[in-house]
Chains A and B, each alone.
Chain A
Amino acid sequence: MIEIEGLTKTFGSFQAVKGIDLTIAKGCVFGFVGPNGAGKSTTMSILATLAAPTSGTVKVGGFDVTQHPKEVRKRIGYMPDFFGVYDQFKTIEYLHFYGASYGIPKAEREELIPQLLELVNLSDKKDAYVDTLSRGMKQRLCLARCLVHDPDLLILDEPASGLDPRARIEMREILKELKAMGKTIIISSHILPELAEMVDEIGVIEHGSMVARGNISDIQSKLRVKRVLYVRLLDRLDEAESFLRDQPLVGRLLRDEQGIHVHYEGQDEEQAALLMGLISSGYRVVSFSEAQTNLEDVFLEITKGGENVV
């Protein structure tokens, strides 16, 4: 669905994108991750035909964005990180306007728009003026706008930014539905855990370069992110902490009321030996488990100074 080869984008002397190569298959949900200013939005605006690449080729659905922008626009639904709405429009008029702008006949729009409002849970707000909607509602309205011409590809730049937790959950549920509908989605975020449930692949971009790409577990294993073990004990937590500190391959220790988080650099063999050591030393271990490394750990690990280029 998306083919990007050697994409660069320069603004004056600043190089925002430095030779990105990326292929995203149809139906894939791709999480585009990186700190602010890394080049995510620039890449997305090039995909949306809003900026011209300095060099390289970018194709959407087989159409080059520089040679067939109109064909590309038919196939994409773009939601920028910051967007405005026409405040004087009613919700339903807003969608009719964009529907008409995509050349959808009025009769078709009359059928389609109530369905879209239903999808984004705004049916009861169809006659409300857009400026009376909350930020989360506007975000959902914008998503409905993206879908009005039934595009194959959705380009969503930070769709959950500025939303409260409830609105984030609602947005995530809608995106899951869209994924189930078979849409190809490229979604950017700097809050990775939110994407974890729905993305098939992630690409991490930093300083304009793609520093990691693949599915999340692949990236985790490639980066050899430290294990974090959680040891829960019945008693003698202070003694257990000093015992663990003296063990090889043990890094930082973090205590809570019932147990200890152990940053551990060893592999399975060493990990089993550590557990046996604890038990043979008489510590009453209730549980000894490997805490799941979350996406934020991965993200921080990848982007710490751009050292771990995969």
Chain B
Amino acid sequence: MSQIQAGGGLRHWRSKLINPVLDKEFRLRMRTSRAMWALFFYLFVIGAMTFGFIYIMTVMPSGSSNSFDPSQSRLMFYFICVVQLGLVAFMAPGLTAGVISGEREKQTLNLLLTTQQSSTTIILSKLFSSLSFMLLLVISTLPVYSVVFLYGGISPKQLLLVFLFFTFVMVVLGSLGILFSTLFKRTMVSVIVTYGATLFIFAGTGFLYLLMSQVMEMTQRNSGTGYNPADYGWIGHIAAWNPVAAMFSIFDDSITEQVFMTRGGSTPPPIALWQEFLLFYSAVAIIAIVMAIRYIRPRYKRSGNGKG
């Protein structure tokens, strides 16, 4: 009897948590072989890179024996994290940039939009299901990380933090992917624009920071008022938009001081890079999601009581 009640209760909560769109997304995603191949590809790349790294480190003539010490292990952890971040940047747009435009191209979107499901439910369910799959990919790489623990040098807290960071990056890129998928009718265009935005976030912000630091340094040196790097420390805010810099600031606090030019000085940096990254991209993700919700259905000129 109690088992029946427990089963009923579980079903009740399941129906509360999983709406029809989410249920459909979960079911259909796992019914194609694409899910399996994506998982295989992801694990293959990260596994190959990790074991390749270990191989290079052990055969490199470093003066010591062919062993792998904790400092090298930490280096490997950073390396895996960068590879993982790269893979997240590669997968997130691919998994989200077609979720709305794909339905439009398959001519199923109109049918979905005439149901009672709200625009918010549709967008958030699509985002959540894509994120769940990405999370599955990232979690499936945990055995690879366990190799790092084999040699030591990294705390579980750092591992947890970096996984939370990956999740956040997925949410940001996923939100952008869903926005472009809603705005552009064709998946091809949406995918290109999402990868373009991802490229800017990863490479463009880094390039912009380096360019600005060179320009500011030259300007300061030629100004004749005395060179003080702290005067142009504000360019650190540009570095805070870069996920790689933000991720490394989680591992090492001194990176924040370096980019804000406060190292060795008495003034502390205004904010840690990863904190600014979280704030800035939280705003970006929220704006992207709100816009996607707004634009998935027609915008009526008159603002009556009804909502799409």
A residues with CB within 8 A of B: 45, 48-52, 64, 66-71, 73-74, 76, 78, 80, 82-86, 88-89, 93, 97-98, 100-103, 106, 142, 145, 149
Contacts and interface: CB of A to CB of B under 8 A. Distances in A.
9 contacts: A51-B298, A64-B306, A67-B304, A69-B307, A69-B308, A73-B114, A80-B111, A83-B107, A83-B108
Nearest to A77: B114
B35 to A, nearest CB: 11
B115 A68 contact: no
A45 B28 CA distance: 27
Contacts of A89: 24, 27-28
Given A69-B308, A80-B110, A101-B112, A88 B300 contact: no
A66 B108 CA distance: 22
Interface in B251-308: 297-302, 304-308
Contacts of B112: 101
B25 to A, nearest CB: 10
Contacts of B307: 69-70
B106 interface: yes
A195 B108 CA distance: 27
Contacts of A64: 304, 306
B20 interface: yes
Interface residues of B, number: 32
A50 B110 contact: yes
Given A86-B108, A97-B20, A100-B20, A50 B113 contact: yes
Nearest to B24: A97
Nearest to A54: B301
Contact of B110 (A71, A78, A101, A102): A78
B110 to A, nearest CB: 6
A76 B110 CA distance: 13
Contacts of B306: 64, 66-71
B295 to A, nearest CB: 12
B305 A68 contact: yes
B23 A100 contact: yes
B31 interface: yes
A90 to B, nearest CB: 10
